[in-house]
Structure 1
């Protein structure tokens, strides 16, 4: 999915995940892993997850916009 994003949105997604993983020393292959039990880490987890959800919405909008422009050119 990252390949479909514009450069700035991709950077924002990578930064959000990298900041979370760096702060909590997270090394799993999963982007955010499971919901943590620790309150402070869970708050960061939820913030990062919400930011990714917003960015995914932007990404979906971008993909739909590109597809719409392609379809308009064919008509």
Structure 2
């Protein structure tokens, strides 16, 4: 008698290859409402945040990075 051995599956969540990355930044200093438009150019969000800090002294921000994710499945023996 032969016993079948089924390899466990491995799951991985990554960015979908057709997805853009969108970055949103918002100042968290007291009542400041500074928030530039979301951008697909993360470097520009960094520059804008640094400029805001240089102009106001505000140095704490929320940063959100968003993209479409894709879960891929492989067998452990592959």
* TM-score normalized by the length of structure 2: 0.28
Greater fraction of residues in helix: 1
Work out which structure has the larger RCO, using CA pairs closer than 8 Å and 6 or more positions apart in sequence.
2
Highest CA radius of gyration, 1 or 2? Answer: 2
Greater fraction of residues in strand: 2
* TM-score normalized by the length of structure 1: 0.29
